[in-house]
Amino acid sequence: MPINYYIFLSLALFCIGMVGVLTRRNAIIVFMCIELMLNAVNLLLVAFSKMHHLKNAVANASAGGDGQLFVFFIMVVAAAEVSVGLAIIVMLYRNVRSVDINFLNRLKH
Amino acid sequence: MQNSLQIAWLVPFFPLLGFLIIGLGRKYLSKSLTGVIGSGTVFLSLLVSVWIFFLVKNENVHVAAYFNFISVDKLVIPFAFQVDALSSLFLLIITGVGFLIHVYSVSYMQQEAKEHFARYFSYLNLFIFSMLLLVMGSNFVILFIGWEGVGLCSYLLIGYWFKDNGNNYAARKAFIMNRIGDLAFLVAIFWIISKTGAVNFNEVFAVAQGQVEGKSFSANDITIITLLLFFGACGKSAQIPLYTWLPDAMAGPTPVSALIHAATMVTAGIYMIARCNILYSMSDVTQDIIMIIGLATAILAATIALKQNDIKKILAYSTVSQLGYMFLALGVGAYSAAVFHVMTHAFFKALLFLGSGSVIHAMNGEQDIRNMGGLSKKLKITYFTFLIGCLAIAGIPPFSGFFSKDAILLSVFEKNPVIYAIALSGALLTAFYMFRLLFTTFYGSFRGTEEQKSHLHESPVAMTIPLIILAVLSILGGIVGIPEVFMHNGEKLKVFLSPVIAVSTEHSVSHSTEYLLMGLSTGLVLVAILFAWNKYRNYKKITEKGFGKLLENKWYVDELYDKLVVNPILKFAGFLNNVFEKQVVEGLVNGVGRFVNYSSRQFRLMQSGQVGNYVLLMVVSILLLLVFQFYLKK
Amino acid sequence: MNALIVLAVSGVVMMFSGILLKQKNVIRVLAITLLFLAIAANTLALCGIQFFNIRLNGMLNFDRYALLFSNVLMICTFLLFLLSARDMEKVGVHYAEYFALLFFVLCGVVLVSSFSSLLILFLGIEIIAIPLYVLTGSDKRNLKSNEASLKYFLLGAFSTGIMLMGITLVYGSSGTFLLGELIPPETKPTTLLLAGILLLIFSMAFKVSAAPFHFWAPDVYDGSPTVFTSFMATIVKAAAFIAFIRLFYHGFRSFHESWVFIIAIITVLTLIIGNITAVFQQSVKRMLAYSSIAQAGFMMMVLLAMNTTAMEGLLLYAVAYSLSTIGLFAVLIKMKDYTFEGFNGLAKYQPLLAGTAVIFLLSLAGIPLTAGFLAKFYMLKAVVLTGSYLWLVITAVVMAAVSVYYYFRVIQAMYFKEGEAQPMEISSSFKWIISFVAFLVILLGIFPQLLIRWIYF
Amino acid sequence: MGVTQLLFWFLSLLALISALLVISSKNPVYSVLWLIMVFFSISGHYILLNAQFLAVVNIIIYAGAIMVLFLYVLMLMDLKKETEPQKKRWVKLAGAVAGGSLLLVLVAALKKADLATSMTQTREGDIGLIENLGKLLFSEYVVPFEISSILFLSAMIGAVVIGKKEQPPKSPEGGL
Amino acid sequence: MIALLLILIPLLSGLVSFFLKKENTARAWALFSSLFTLAVSLLGLTLMNNEGNLHFKTEWLPDLGSSFSIGLDGMGQLICLLTAISFPIIFISTWHHVYKKAHNFFALMLLSQAGLMGVFLAMDALVFYFFWELALVPVYFLCSIWGGEKRIAATFKFFVYTFIGSLLMLVGLIYLQSQTADRSFDITSFYNLSLSGNSQNWVFLLLFAAFAIKMPVFPFHSWQPDTYEQAPTATTMVLSAIMVKMGVFAVIRWLLPVLPLGSYAYGETTVSILAVIGMVYASLLAMRQNDMKRLIAYSSIAHIGLMVIAIFAENKTAMQGVMIQMFNHGIIIIGLWIIVEIIEQKFGTRKLSDLGGLAQKAPVMALLFVVIALANIALPLTNAFVGEFLMFTGIFTSAVFKYELFIIPAAGLCIILGAVYMLNMLQKVLYGNTNTLTASGTDIRLNEKLVLGVIVILIIAGGVYPQPFLDLTKETTELILKESDVLPLLNK
């Protein structure tokens, strides 16, 4: 499978996520879109890791493995981020009964 | 064995000493003591001057150098005095007349308060000092120092009664007008330095005469330098276009007018040009210009003098016109004649001023001749001396004025008869207005107030003695310059000055013509006097109209100057101050500040406080930067 | 490594102390002691004494510079604790947890100042970021604080995404995460790599709050509790910078010319926007937020120059900037009113506070005899040495002059304006410490090599 | 056109479409579901790439844990579609355009990327197997692994700090 | 040793003064320390006048290529002497002036003195820049705290204005250092630089920006009148007598020899034209001023303009003229400020229109005032005459000028205008009749008599026998001109 396909695919997903971030106002959805972006990245990483594996497997049996491990760490971090993020959103909801990202703009200029 | 003239420094030293003593001790010295010190110091330097004079007479010329005033790079300006015929002569005039006027002042200024009396004498001494510096300086810079010094003193003395702002304005005018001339003088000095790298008279003249290899003046240099110097002289010696300050300068005390604005300071210009005669003789252009200006000034001032009513103003204008004659003489190259006239003029003009001073003294402060008349009975000495003065200035033989003026006219005639004719007419005008003054003041009936009439009296001895002495000098002063035609080896002055001023030996005019001219001028002058006699023997008031009014208002020259020069400058300055500075210069600076503030207010709006917009902005800028990197950047 | 482990442990300790200890003073003292231990441990490491011997597989590289930098930042944190730890009590009830989080952040700081693998960079940055999201929002009932933390979180996560994409692309072209091997020798920059590098620049620029990725900074700094603002604006920012520079210095230096121009653009934008926007602020706190952006502009110059002068300068700049800002925030916390008017006439009531504040402000403005001047000087010198970008230098100095405008507004308020600026009560220890900080600023302003020569020998 | 290709295209299409639906569907709950769909398809890709470990983890962590968390929160707040106020149209448009053009730029830039030729390995290559990854993780990547524990600790504390109710009520406009 | 002391004494005593609480102790302390400084500088001029004492060098910032190197050459001697003389004079003349928080006032004054000394002593570009800024900061506080009602805005403008300038200069200095052979800020390595004409040109602009603002040269002068007007007179004296000279001094020491080609390219054309325009402009404005401080401020701008032209005349005569004129102008203008201060203290106004007739009430002051004013218009036998005469001669004989036929008359015009406005001021203040305000005037106090007397003596002495000063600055002049000689470079 040519690597370009994966590149374009995950770029597409990435940008779709970005568009989501740009267009939605619901904090949770925005956050989900960010997760989408992360997943796009993951996909690409895996693809690359396999590419490098294909290239250097002869020299180094574990070539490309680091890419997949990185994905693993991304997931870890994502999980942590989600826990904190959702906590923040919930706190916000408690205080203002809304998860609209534009609802609060006392801090400006 | 150093030259005995080395102690020439004594001459200016005494007045300086007097200045310091009086100036510092003015609180403590009594008036009489002040007077004694003031006059005494001048008298001492008079003695020294006489001694110097006789030394010089025995061909002892000396440049007494004391220390280096400035020595930078190759330029060396020594503080040195040049003692030769010319300067020694001027020394005599200055110290002599100066001494007399000091003595005169002692009683003239009696009614002043102690401090002010002292202030007066300290200024006077300072003036003598600067004047001596001026004539003794052996290079242009020292000369210039004295030059500015006398200007300063005249400023101080004109504004002596500083409570009256009129005097202050007059003083300021005098100083600034002089300053304009001085600027020209300075530029001339710079020019000389840039060409010769020296300022000493001897060196500069040597270069001019081509005795120094490597350095030389081009013809243009000479012309420009001489013209600049002459312009400086115009300021000091009140020639067109810078003459208007002198009449106003009469605001000062009368003795001051006599000393500074008649006898000495105003002749500094003549001295300077005479000193530089070598340069001037090399530039015909300059000489012609000087001649024309001198002549014009002489006539103009004379015409104005015809219609003035302030006794001192009349004398002032006559001074201007006499100075004009001297410049005329310089213009035609008769330097010694000019110097001769300086001398005689110093005598009789000082006499006239002091006389007028005594009149004013008698009329306690009155200066308008229309309110005088018939004073001859009360003020006998004043009257006679004044008469002598008038005869002298009018040029009646054998009074001194006759010889000096005759010498000038003769040399003018040699140059060009037409000029001679004009100059002669000027002389007639002089005779006329002087005798108008004399008759209106001393003849006819008294026109002043009763109070003044009762107050009329002859001045005290301290004032009359100087009058008499000056009168005698005005009579006999001519002897030193009696022309060849009257007595063998006459013109002693010319001979005496010959080391400084080259003498043109050949006479173009025959003795017969000379007699003729003398007769002519004398005759005409007598006619003019008679005319004045029957017009003003008993004066009656008439209001001037037409041409008379024009003359009475001095051809409106002052007004003209205000319109053309003073007001435009003030307006322009005002514009710069109120508009340009505020709007443009300040405006630019503050504008920057305002711009920063403005853009700050705009930038703040980017910080809209909405996450969505932030993300959008970030994405857009990412986009732009990527585009730049991948597509725009080469 | 020493510091990292000590810090992690002390983080855990603080976590439990929250449950075990009740008196806040005890907690505070404990925290300060632990941090002191960490510093001591790190200093020992700096002198070559390693407690632990762990195979790092080239993922971390504790070189002198890294150790020194983390040490310096920890010392700054130490001073911050001494000055303002007391004021954390007012933020909320979780006093111990705050310390724990701060310790974890410091772990991240150590990581990013010594990483040599993109993975560690990513982890370190997240370890810094996640506690900060929390600390920003720690003043829970204060809507400003909530808003700040939400904004910070969303934007931060977003930038993380971008950074990950960047890392991925770089990985794609190079096949490794180790800085040293990212660019094989004598290769031309592929588009893939370049795109990755650019995305990394953008995300790092976000972390150091460089324009046009600075938008989060003013709001977050303004909204979060002042103590943590002071922490974020100084130590964290400096850490982000060392990460940024370490990444590009060890990673991508050989392609310098191909990406440096983007850096130049970002630098100029940062300088202009930061300084100009700060001019019109009314609240000192927000002004300081913008000024921190402006100062970031100067630090960006290191990436422009990439020479030893720049690296030395970065160290000095980080210290000078952090000390001055910490001190200034410490003063600010004591004030009742954060607007400029709030400072009117402070000099009358608290001459010492005002005097030290003046020193800090002068240092930020870059007046000689303060560390701030030499820091700026190093930066300018570094850029001038490259021989190009003089237009940028000129812009920088002009902007520095602009910065005088808003810094001196505070001085004017304190000294020349009449007012009733009554700060809260001030302990004598606080006075001593803040004077000491001011003294440090002056000292480093005269003898910078006291600090810099630690890089060598 | 082998099975691999077919699967690839199918999964890609699925991923893209559901991603688009994530950002376009009004109801948040639907978005969550579509997102889960995306995750599944991505996991499919992983399997295709023979990265089984990740495929599994992806399903478990993402589709399982995280998404459930999201759903949970959404339910907690029971947000109806109308509760989410819509952005102004031009903002949406701008966002879409920006994102789209970013995609274009990147694609255009990377299209001529020099590894257009290089392939990625599908259906074989055992690097993605749990055993190898485990070895790698606990030999070379042990340090990051430990470090990530710090990350979790801090996240945990953070969640507590943020989540716990504050006892002393404060004025919403407190200076600090 | 001497060099070090000249900086240390004011610095330390200034710091000490912060802690003196009683006003009179502070005042006495300041006076004592300034007198001490004066003594030291005189010592350096006479007894201990040898290399070892006059130069001091020690390691400072090796990795920046800068060392703390200070030293006194002839020009430095002269200008440091001015600085050393000025401060006692200032302190004595304002002895009775009451300041709130006096100890801070005097402390800052002494600190500014230290800064100024440093600027004049610095033999290393970075040290120079350090002190250049340091001299500025205390003055900023002095003006903003003890100044007039519009002080804050005016002073701030002044500060930012000069700060921009000095930052540009900093860039220039850094660039120069990066070009030196040994990567050093030392003045000798700066003098050994030989840059291409092109780079010299823009570096010249960078450096000159700072100096031009400081001096100031038209059109960068707009800060000056406001600042002088608003600042407390004691500070105004420092500003106008010494600080303004920093610019002139810096051009001579750091610009001309380092960038001969740049100076040649701009100095003889743009700069001198600007300067001469500034002279006329300032003189004209001075004629229209009603506030004595503003009048003097503008007259000072005019005088500085002449100095600038003279510097770029690049010959010995002019250069020496400039050097002693820096000294003379400082002395004179301090005298003028003292007079202004006295008048303002007595009558609470500086408006010419409100004054008059003081000559009756205060003859001594009148006398001294007249002398100083006349010195200001360069009357012969006052020190200013020597300076201006030399400068004019130099300009006139200069080989390098391109537009001297425009410059000379314009500059000459200022001689006349100067007389106009100074005499106008004299007349408005001293002469005429007293008015209700001035009727109550009394003569000046002993301390004022003392300082004014000293000033007048200096003026006369410098005017009658200037040679010692000229000899003092001879060597420096030759060095500077050797370094800044462009003709060989042009031939290359």
Taking alpha carbons only, the member of B133, B155, B158 closest to residue B143 is B133
User: What are the pLDDT digits (tens) for A89-108?
Assistant: 999 998 888 888 888 888 88
φ, ψ dihedrals at B343, nearest 5°: -65, -55
φ, ψ dihedrals at B159, nearest 5°: -90, 25
How many percent of chain C have pLDDT more than 70? 100
| Distance separating alpha carbons of residues A101 and D86, to the nearest angstrom | 11
Is pLDDT above 80 for C314?
Answer: yes
User: What are the pLDDT digits (tens) for B162-195?
Assistant: 988 899 999 999 999 999 999 999 999 999 998 8
What is the reported pLDDT for B574? 93
B614/E contact by beta carbon, under 8 A: no
What's the rounded mean pLDDT across residues B432-446? 91
| Distance separating alpha carbons of residues B385 and B407, to the nearest angstrom | 24
Classify residue C102 as exposed, middle or buried by CB count within 10 Å of its CB (0-12, 13-18, 19+). buried
Name, in order, each residue with C-beta under 8 angstroms of E463's C-beta and a sequence gap of 6 or more.
E375, E380, E381, E382, E383, E384, E385, E386
Instruction: Supply D121's token pair.
Output: 């390995």
Nearest beta carbon to residue B607 from set A21, A102, A109: A109
What is the reported pLDDT for C183? 85
Upper half-sphere CA count for residue D153 (Cβ side, 13 Å): 27
Distances in Å between the alpha carbon of E399 and those of B380, C114, E310, E402, E462?
A: 67, 64, 12, 9, 28
C interface test, pick of B618, B620, B627, B628 with most C CB neighbours within 10 Å: B618
Question: What three-state secondary structure class fits A2?
Answer: strand
φ, ψ dihedrals at B63, nearest 5°: -110, 110
Interchain pair C278, B601: CB under 8 A: no
| Distance separating alpha carbons of residues C166 and C197, to the nearest angstrom | 6
Question: What three-state secondary structure class fits B480?
Answer: helix
Shortest Cα distance, chain B CAs vs residue E379, angstroms: 7
B534 pLDDT band (50/70/90 cuts)?
A: confident
Q: Which residues of E touch C377 (CB under 8 A)?
A: 64, 170, 174
What is the reported pLDDT for B500? 87
Interchain pair B70, E281: CB under 8 A: no
What is the reported pLDDT for B527? 93
Q: Which residues pair with B71 in a beta bridge?
A: B76
Nearest beta carbon to residue E144 from set C400, C405, C416: C416
Interchain pair E423, B175: CB under 8 A: yes
SS3 string of D132-160?
HHHHHHHHCCHHHHHHHHHHHHHHHHHHH
What's the rounded mean pLDDT across residues C323-340? 93
What is the reported pLDDT for D83? 58
Upper half-sphere CA count for residue B64 (Cβ side, 13 Å): 20
Question: What three-state secondary structure class fits B384?
Answer: helix
| Distance separating alpha carbons of residues B306 and B437, to the nearest angstrom | 9
Distances in Å between the alpha carbon of B348 and those of B52, B355, B387, D75?
A: 25, 10, 10, 126
Is pLDDT above 80 for E246?
Answer: yes
Shortest Cα distance, chain C CAs vs residue E158, angstroms: 12
**Cβ–Cβ < 8 Å for C371, C444:** yes
What is the reported pLDDT for D171? 46
Distance of CA E351 to the CA centre of its chain: 25
What's the rounded mean pLDDT across residues C308-325? 95
Q: Which residues of C touch E62 (CB under 8 A)?
A: 449
Interchain pair B183, E416: CB under 8 A: yes
B13 pLDDT band (50/70/90 cuts)?
A: very high
What is the reported pLDDT for A109? 80
User: What are the pLDDT digits (tens) for B481-506?
Assistant: 888 777 777 778 888 888 888 876 55
Shortest Cα distance, chain C CAs vs residue A71, angstroms: 10
* Range in C121-135, D81-95, E380-394 the model is least confident about: D81-95
What's the rounded mean pLDDT across residues B54-71? 87
Instruction: Supply B308's token pair.
Output: 């003035």
User: What are the pLDDT digits (tens) for D80-119?
Assistant: 655 566 667 888 899 999 999 999 999 988 887 666 667 8
E423/B contact by beta carbon, under 8 A: yes
Interchain pair E161, B72: CB under 8 A: no
What's the rounded mean pLDDT across residues B387-395? 93
> What pTM does this model have?
0.92
**Cβ–Cβ < 8 Å for E300, E336:** no
**Cβ–Cβ < 8 Å for B456, B372:** no
| Distance separating alpha carbons of residues B523 and B402, to the nearest angstrom | 12
B523 pLDDT band (50/70/90 cuts)?
A: very high
Interchain pair B628, C262: CB under 8 A: yes
Instruction: Supply B395's token pair.
Output: 């040029």
**Cβ–Cβ < 8 Å for C138, D161:** yes
**Cβ–Cβ < 8 Å for E282, B576:** no
E453/B contact by beta carbon, under 8 A: no
Amino acid at C190: T
What is the reported pLDDT for A63? 84
Residue E229 CB neighbours (<10 A) = 20
Q: How far apart are the first and last CA of chain B?
A: 90
Per the listing, tokens 């208002």 go with B553
C424 pLDDT band (50/70/90 cuts)?
A: confident
Residues of chain A with pLDDT under 50: none
Nearest CA in chain C to A3: C172
Q: Which residues of A touch D20 (CB under 8 A)?
A: 16
Length of chain C: 457
Taking alpha carbons only, the member of B316, B230, B233 closest to residue B279 is B230
For chain D, the average pLDDT equals 85
What is the reported pLDDT for B503? 74
B607/C contact by beta carbon, under 8 A: yes
Say whether the peptide bond before residue B241 is cis (omega within 30 degrees of 0): yes
Contact of chains E and A by CB distance (3 or more pairs under 8 angstroms):
no
What are the E-state strand segments in C255-349?
A: none
What's the rounded mean pLDDT across residues E163-172? 94
Shortest Cα distance, chain C CAs vs residue D174, angstroms: 6
What is the reported pLDDT for B494? 85
D58 pLDDT band (50/70/90 cuts)?
A: very high
Report CA torsion sign: D61, D65, D67, D69.
negative
User: What are the pLDDT digits (tens) for C49-58?
Assistant: 888 888 888 8
Nearest beta carbon to residue E222 from set B115, B163, B585: B585
Q: List all chains that touch chain E, counting a touch as 3 or more CB pairs closer than 8 Å.
A: B, C
| Distance separating alpha carbons of residues B281 and B140, to the nearest angstrom | 18
Distances in Å between the alpha carbon of B299 and those of B246, C135, C342?
A: 16, 101, 81
What is the reported pLDDT for A34? 96
Interchain pair C165, A55: CB under 8 A: no
**Cβ–Cβ < 8 Å for C52, C1:** yes
Rounded to the nearest 10°, the torsion over CA D45, D47, D51, D55 is 80
What is the reported pLDDT for B469? 94
What's the rounded mean pLDDT across residues B222-243? 93
Nearest beta carbon to residue A74 from set C141, C146, C164: C164
Instruction: Fill in the DSSP letter of residue A24.
Output: -
**Cβ–Cβ < 8 Å for B5, B64:** yes
Does the model's ipTM exceed the 0.95 cut?
Answer: no
Interchain pair C262, B625: CB under 8 A: yes
Interchain pair D154, C190: CB under 8 A: no
Q: Which residues of B touch A102 (CB under 8 A)?
A: 610-612
What are the E-state strand segments in E1-146?
A: 55-61, 66-71
For chain C, the average pLDDT equals 93
Instruction: Supply E193's token pair.
Output: 């630089």
| Distance separating alpha carbons of residues A24 and C197, to the nearest angstrom | 29
Q: Which residues pair with B80 in a beta bridge?
A: B65
Taking alpha carbons only, the member of C334, C233, C352, C251 closest to residue C293 is C233
| Distance separating alpha carbons of residues E376 and E295, to the nearest angstrom | 12
Amino acid at C438: A
Is pLDDT above 70 for D79?
Answer: no
E388 pLDDT band (50/70/90 cuts)?
A: very high
How many percent of chain D have pLDDT more than 70? 85
Taking alpha carbons only, the member of B540, B322, B305 closest to residue B432 is B305
* Range in B484-488, C165-169, C270-274, E289-293 the model is least confident about: B484-488
